[in-house]
Structure 1
Amino acid sequence: MTALMDLYEAVKSGVDWADNVFVKNIDESEAKTDLTFLLVRDATQELENYGSNTFHTMTYTLQIQIFYASDSDLDYDEVELKLFRYLESKGYLISNVRGRLQDPDTYQDYQTFLVNIEKEV
């Protein structure tokens, strides 16, 4: 299974406060502004730990976006910290939290953050 699909499965099984989790792109027919959902997608990969003229690990950087329902009563800090701790327990490193913004088209608040995971190849 790819690093992206591993993260998707982890998020799907570890998040009970969202209405849906999407991978790679958002299914517009299921992404309504009155729902809270997450989008998981690739960001970058880096070849690392060179020895004997070859690499031995790859670090995957993956992006997660949380789109909050326009009428959400969730405590954003609480659910985000819970998700960060859960992902850390699964071996992911939270590498960047970009801060909440509001989507100019849907007026939904959203948060974007990056996680890293290293795999031997």
Structure 2
Amino acid sequence: MSAVDDAVSILSQASIAGVDAIYGNNLPQEAIDSKYKTVILITDAANSPSSFGNNDFWALNQEIEIQIWYSQLLDSDFDTIEVALMKTFVHQNWQVAAVRQRILDPVSQQLSNTFYFSRTKILKETF
């Protein structure tokens, strides 16, 4: 499974209160148009080989970007959602690589935030 697929699965199973929808790689139009749902988009940020030996590599350093757009009607605390998000990934052996600050989109009037998580994935198959 790709890092994005793994991350979507992890977050979907976590069922974080206040998160309405989770998407991998792209947002459908209805998610883009909705100002009243808290939506998460997960995309790849990096994927590079590591653990070299015998003219080959045995692992991938993977990083994902998670963008959250908060509902204008959100009745949860932003910090509660963000801490739950970070703990979900840390408990699944990912590292928090970076957390940006919340920003307000001047057009949609939605707050958003961006996170980066990384992991080293050991490759089991040989190619």
Shared fold (TM-score, shorter chain, > 0.5): yes
Between 15-24 and 88-97, the greater mean CA deviation after superposition: 15-24
Using the aligned pairs only, state the percent identity: 25
- Residue identity in the other structure for 1:46: S
SS in 1 for 2:81: helix
Q: TM-score, normalised by structure 2?
A: 0.88
| Structure 2 partner of 1:18 | 19
1:60-99 equivalences under 5 Å are 60-99=62-101
Counterpart CA distance in 2 for 1:85 and 1:57 is: 24
SS in 2 for 1:18: coil
| Structure 2 partner of 1:5 | 5
Between 96-105 and 84-93, the greater mean CA deviation after superposition: 96-105
- Residue identity in the other structure for 2:21: N
Gaps of 5+ in 2: none
Deviation at residue 40 of structure 1 after TM alignment: 0.8
1:26-65 equivalences under 5 Å are 26-31=27-32, 32-65=34-67
Gaps of 5+ in 1: none
Structure 1 residues 44-102: Cα deviation after superposition (integer angstroms, max 9, x where no partner)? 11111112222111011001111100132221112101111111111111101011111
Between 106-115 and 71-80, the greater mean CA deviation after superposition: 71-80
Contact in 1 for aligned 2:64/2:116 (Cα 8 Å)? yes
Aligned length: 121
Runs (4 or more) in structure 1 with deviation over 2 Å come to: none
Counterpart CA distance in 2 for 1:103 and 1:93 is: 28
